[in-house]
Chains A and B, each alone.
Chain A
Amino acid sequence: MPQTLFDKIWNSHVVKTIPGGPSVLYIDKHFIHEVTSPQAFNGIGKRGLTVLRPQNTVATADHNVPTINQHLPIKDELSRIQVEQLKENCAKYDIELYGLGHPFQGIVHIIGPELGITQPGMTIVCGDSHTSTHGAFGSIAFGIGTSEVEMVFASQCVMQTKPKLMRINIDGTLNSGVVSKDIILHIISQISASGATGYFVEYAGSAIRQLSMEARMTICNMSIEMGARGGMIAPDETTFDYIKGRQFAPSGEQWDRKFAQWKELYTDQDAVFDLEINIDAVEIQPMITYGTNPGLGIAINGYIPVMDTIPDEGERKNIIKGLQYMGLEAGKQLLGMPVQHIFIGSCTNARIEDLRLVASIVKGKKKNANVQVMIVPGSQQVAAQVQAEGLDKIFEEAGFSIRQAGCSACLGMNEDKIPAGEYCISTSNRNFEGRQGAGARTLLASPLTAAAAAITGVVSDVREMMPQ
């Protein structure tokens, strides 16, 4: 029987399926961080258990670390305690930790791939919903709660009900100025913030095949923003080339063995999905959001919908509530609207290619005097690459504030917050009320669109600033 990519990986990881219940799914790789792990460590401690397979877990500190002066003790007491507990727990249970100061430290979903830990065919979990990022390598990767983190510690397994399967095919060639962030914002705007709930999504089609690994990660990263359990892309030459030679990638004979397995990871010709959606790549424009969930997005030169065009009452109320919070009006354009902050960072868009995109727009220019621009590389390695390529000079000359690696203003757990009532064009993944700080107003967009606004100080169409 023809199988989907998801089926192939799922079936090879099921230890047991409980009749009328979930499956016990074996986990190959478990990432942990300081915020969602302490209660799980406490839990196994209380039960007198230990971590069953510590070599299958990797830890980093990212969610609430400061992004300046990381060599100094963390000022915020509660954050410091969480980071210290992570250190103690990792030492106690023999788990590899890339903590502050380590050259591999960074946002958990950025370091996994860049170190070659994330590999095709794996099952990967982390106490963070953006774990879907790792699906870009053709793995089953999804976010879990802290009770499930505890389960992985205790048994290297989680209990999961098999999701329904959706395939989103994107064919054709992308327009100039359109990058992978625009693809995923477009998809979510089409199917809504809950449109993929209950599903695991495979992204396919010629437009996806043409993307780099980093661009594919941006798409899989935001799968959760339409409710999907996760997103995945079948591995191909682009994937294998990316992995080869990385720190923890297989090499020699081991590579040959893995490579033979990885080449089998694709959806068979006649495999059936519960739902298929087809999108023409040329329809996709640079995108921006106007509301308080990631599904409320429009083309950069588009108009906020007027309420008569929204048939569903619940959705209408949603948009009205969102617009009220955002201080925006139905029927209006966002283009030309002043913004006060630009945040370039997060597990969605803080990889080297994202920062190169930003540099391509701001090179030789200065930021607008009315905006503050924070640029937060996703990892120590990305930060080192920024320096190696001289991008830091471009950003400094533009007047950007270059920070150290962490989740930063994506969720505002550390000091990096957007003040109440002010607008921020953000390359992150969520525009929920208060996400970037109480009262902060977030407009999600691509690194190119963020870069354009950094220079002009207003919502801008990057296509007008690109070399012809």
Chain B
Amino acid sequence: MQPINKIHTTFVPMPMENIDTDQIIPARFLKATTRLGFGQNLFRDWRYESDGTPKEGFILNNPQYSGEILVAGKNFGCGSSREHAAWSLLDYGFYVVVSSFFADIFKNNALNNGVIPVQVTENFLQKIFLLGKEERLTISLEDQTITIDKTGESESFDINDYKKTCLLNGYDDIDYLLSMKEEIAEFEKQHVY
């Protein structure tokens, strides 16, 4: 995993609620056996017609919007546990997703892949949606803050200390679990199932 700390870019707004992982990456694109290349099918059915032509009006097809930050309505990433959703966002180039509420499994999957889920208040989220497409957001993982550059308005976001350390340094949970090998073996001695 790549270390990550500060992201300072424009953003892509998707003000819909309950964006489920079937929309982020439809099931028929889950047949790969590697983690690469999922970005081309990110939001596939919202982004392309069935013949593959880009759908006019869908934000990812609008060259005026860009950036490494996706901003979405509440309950982002609900539904299927497919980690391919996080892989497709990362592969497309999103390192941060901002929402007022994340589904649990997606949140874990994002964190395990170096995508920062930034949970803000509904009020702050609506403020972002009102910004122009040229405006920038700054996310600092170190400070746990998200700031609207134009107005200087800022909110802090939650992330547990352990995950923060992992993301800042590019460590993953497997590194940690491997370091626990002896404690796990001890646990197994007294644990019967």
Contacts and interface: CB of A to CB of B under 8 A. Distances in A.
B104 A128 contact: no
A145 B104 contact: no
Interface string A241-263: 00000000000000000000000
A366 B192 CA distance: 53
B180 A24 contact: yes
A78 B26 CA distance: 15
Given A38-B33, A434-B45, A227 B75 contact: yes
Contact of B79 (A24, A159, A430): A430
Interface string B2-36: 00000000000000111010110011101111110
A127 B21 CA distance: 14
Given A194-B103, A229-B104, 15 more contacts: A20-B161, A29-B193, A42-B33, A129-B79, A144-B108, A145-B105, A145-B112, A154-B177, A157-B180, A197-B101, A227-B104, A314-B17, A321-B16, A430-B80, A434-B22
B104 A198 contact: yes
Contacts of B105: 129, 143-145, 224, 229
A129 B80 contact: yes
Contact of B27 (A85, A412, A420): A412
A433 B104 CA distance: 21
Interface string B103-118: 1110011001100000
From B74, B178, B193, residue with most partner A Cβ within 10 Å: B193
A311 B163 CA distance: 37
B79 to A, nearest CB: 6
B180 to A, nearest CB: 6
B162 A20 contact: yes
Nearest to B31: A78
Contact of B83 (A26, A146, A194, A413): A146
A331 to B, nearest CB: 22
B59 to A, nearest CB: 15
Given A22-B162, A128-B81, A433 B108 contact: no
17 contacts: A22-B162, A49-B178, A128-B81, A145-B81, A147-B83, A147-B109, A151-B177, A156-B188, A157-B180, A159-B177, A197-B75, A314-B73, A411-B80, A412-B28, A432-B22, A434-B26, A438-B26
Interface stretch (B60-68, B90-98, B135-143, B168-176): B168-176
B101 A194 contact: yes
A128 B30 CA distance: 13
A181 interface: no
A63 B191 CA distance: 33
Given A36-B82, A227-B103, A26 B177 contact: no
A193 interface: yes
Contact of B22 (A49, A64, A161, A435): A435
Interface in A153-175: 154-159, 161, 163
B150 interface: no
Contacts of B167: none
From A29, A144, A432, residue with most partner B Cβ within 10 Å: A432
A22 B164 CA distance: 12
A315 B16 CA distance: 10
Contacts of A119: 193
Interface string A46-66: 010100000000000001100
A271 interface: no
Contact of A151 (B86, B173, B193): B173
Interface of A: 12-13, 15-16, 18-22, 24, 26, 28-29, 35-36, 38-39, 42-43, 47, 49, 63-64, 76, 78-79, 81-82, 85, 119, 121-122, 127-129, 143-148, 150-151, 154-159, 161, 163, 193-194, 197-198, 224, 227, 229, 293, 314-315, 317-318, 321, 411-413, 420, 430, 432-435, 438-439
A148 B102 CA distance: 18
A99 B124 CA distance: 50
A440 to B, nearest CB: 11
A412 B34 CA distance: 21
B53 interface: no
Given A36-B82, A39-B33, A194 B18 contact: yes
Contacts of B176: 159
Given A151-B173, A412-B28, A16 B75 contact: no
B184 interface: yes
B108 A148 contact: yes
Contacts of A321: 16
B193 A28 contact: yes
A15 B33 CA distance: 32
B177 A413 contact: no
A122 B27 contact: no
A26 B101 contact: no
Given A42-B33, A194-B103, A314-B73, A20 B160 contact: yes
Nearest to A153: B174
Contacts of A13: 191
A347 to B, nearest CB: 12
